Amino acid sequence: MPPVSTNPPDVLKQPKKQSEFAVIREDEYLEPFEPAIKARTAKFNSWVETLNAHEGGLERFSKGYESYGLHALPNGDVKYREWAPNATSACLIGDFNGWDRAANPMTKNDFGVWECVVKSKGGQAAIPHNSKVKISMTTPSGERIERLPAWATRVVQDLTVSPIYDAVFWNPPKNERYTFKNSRPKQAPRAPKVYEAHVGISTPEPKIGSYKEFTRDVLPRIKDLGYNTIQLMAIMEHAYYASFGYQITSFFAISSRYGTPEELKELIDTAHGLGLTVLLDVVHSHASNNSADGLNHFDGSDHQYFHGGGKGRHELWDSRLFNYGHHEVLRFLLSNLRFYMEEYQFDGFRFDGVTSMLYVHHGIGTGFSGGYHEYFGDKVDEEAVVYLMLANTMLHELYPTCLTIAEDVSGMPALCRTVAEGGIGFDYRLAMAVPDMWIKLLKEAPSDESWDMGNIAFTLTNRRWKEKSIAYAESHDQALVGDKTLAFWLMDKEMYTNMSDLTERTPVIDRGLALHKMIRLITHALGGEGYLNFEGNEFGHPEWLDFPREGNGDSYQYARRQFNLIDDHLLRYKYLYAFDRAFNRLEDQYQWLSSPPAYVSLKNESDKVIVFERGNLLWIFNFHPTNSFTDYRVGTDWAGEYQVVLSSDDPEFGGHNRVDKSVKHFTTPMEWNGRKNWLQVYLPNRTVQVLAH
């Protein structure tokens, strides 16, 4: 029988009460913070109850775009609604009424919502398609202000006249409206392989590219490379091209720089026809400081959509911060997500600046150590957290195939767990420490002999249990001017003189080609449950990214992607492109991204070798700059026969053809490096070989 306690009954240890939240049951370090998780979940539930009681639930509440803004009625009338509680009078003006403030006055309800109906004359559209409109208001001080409708779906900019945008009423005739031909993918990608792209730079020519050019020229390349997901950046309208799309002025308008709404619909529909999932890089973390053509001071107040005072301003981004606790702000932002899902048929979102949203300090001057106390308490913006919970819940309930990705550098626990489990509801987070590691290695430890194999493996595998990550070696952040891409760090100026097969392969180019392939593949294989690449980086794009601005003479020289380089078969860029395509297609076959995390059996510092098993494949990386190894013994738990299915040393990938892929390798049943068997392979320096069991 079990031993009997000699403690008095009143001090007997009570059985541990099981938490209602799975994230706490599975992570004891979260136990002290259960009150915070309960509090945010209670606030989330309170919002759901409020919306159910007063708005018909999340489904109806998030379709505000159907009633706010400008809408053509069947009889030709146009109805306009706008929330502007601080305004004392309002009217709709534009080309259609000669900008007459007396022609179409608006009436205000008890909730600060203004409304008017512009009557049709003779059955004709009351406001012609593509004609300019504004809302004119007076403030309590008597000041007259004019703004672009906050829910405008089309705004245009004529830089020859002014940098300030004009709103236009987008209501094309039925025969000019794009009709979707392809349905969305029937399920979310098993493992997202994300091609991060910017329409404007997606042409080799020094100009702003168009939606039509992207559809024609870039979509086939993405499909050919084996990516299954596109992340479109800088789509929401932004006043300043060089902001990379991160200073949003009109949230419901897609950027007119690249073309029309109908042309973007065609792009997305064509992508769906190719089996591609399309994500929008959505910016709900902040908004442009502009007042003339943005949301700032929309109704003359400092605190309509945003927090008033310093709380509503991001000191580094010079932008405004939303008040996520306000009913109408939630309507605006949740409806914004629904609008892009419904109107344009996007398949999900990459949420920008999530770290800034999660914390009242916005991550400014804060280094996250990983201590759980950093993720809870008064440093957390609970209202923003609850907004993200509402957004993820709404999207996943209404669109079962929807995909959401969080850009968070802090490592917030349970970010990618469901709300029911105690989480915030994202599907994936970006593994932002990985590109930082690679850049640091190339920048601060240029000598390969000093690379720490243990640190590389740890950084690539250091992620939260049951939370999915999207790994990447570099994204648009590393491509921007002021930084360098991996290819540039590796090969720099020699890329301009020695990337032709007609020139000598210098040690710099040889190292660059080899490490570029190895860095990207080990990140792909070991770093997460998804993978991301910024367009052009797959073939080692030779230049940084710098948008036209005053500091560079408004030049488009670096605001483009030189896809022509891979079409020139004399250039070595084709090798990197081919390798990228090969490992994406190999993943389709062996599905390592959706396999359990890898088992790393070897991190040999002197040999510079990393060995691991994942996806029924044995991965062997030899990072040593000079040493090749004959009959190198590696461990594996899987007994039997192996054959190389991918070698970075193949000539088609710019390698030296030192790996004979016809050779079969057989295991010996003896423990090695903690594995049950071993086999022997030839490891050329600076190569990776992948063996199938």
| Active-site residue set | 352, 407
Q: Residue 384: which of 431, 332, 321 has the closest Cα?
A: 321
Task: Report yes or no: 30 and 412 within 8 Å, Cβ to Cβ.
Answer: no
Q: Residue 572: which of 475, 482, 490 has the closest Cα?
A: 490
Task: Report yes or no: 482 and 547 within 8 Å, Cβ to Cβ.
Answer: no
How long, in residues, is the chain?
A: 693
Q: Residue 336: which of 152, 62, 47, 60 has the closest Cα?
A: 62
Q: How far is CA 158 from CA 118, 166, 257, 292, in A?
A: 27, 8, 10, 15
Q: Which two tokens stand for residue 182?
A: 């392809």
| d(C-alpha 589, C-alpha 585), whole Å | 7
Q: Which two tokens stand for residue 89?
A: 């009078």
Cβ contacts of 52 within 8 Å, gap of 6 or more: none
Long-range contacts of 509-513 (CB under 8 A, 24+ apart): 509/572, 511/448, 511/625, 511/686, 512/487, 512/540, 513/540, 513/572, 513/575, 513/576, 513/654
The helix (H) or strand (E) run that includes residue 587 is helix 573-590
If one counts every other C-beta atom within 10 angstroms of the C-beta of residue 79, the result is 15
With tokens 């648009």, the residue in question is: 476
With tokens 């920048």, the residue in question is: 443
Task: Report yes or no: 204 and 560 within 8 Å, Cβ to Cβ.
Answer: yes
| d(C-alpha 249, C-alpha 399), whole Å | 27
- H-helix segments, 377-432: 382-398
| d(C-alpha 469, C-alpha 466), whole Å | 10
Task: Report yes or no: 101 and 93 within 8 Å, Cβ to Cβ.
Answer: yes
Q: Which amino acid is at 322?
A: F
| d(C-alpha 276, C-alpha 228), whole Å | 5
Task: Report yes or no: 204 and 563 within 8 Å, Cβ to Cβ.
Answer: yes
Three-class secondary structure of residue 305 per DSSP: coil
With tokens 């609970």, the residue in question is: 382
Phi/psi at 24 (5° precision) = -80, -40
With tokens 């002290």, the residue in question is: 32
Q: Residue 516: which of 645, 652, 654 has the closest Cα?
A: 654
Q: Which DSSP category does 428 fall into?
A: E
| d(C-alpha 588, C-alpha 592), whole Å | 8
Phi/psi at 471 (5° precision) = -90, 150
Cβ contacts of 359 within 8 Å, gap of 6 or more: 366, 379, 380, 381, 410
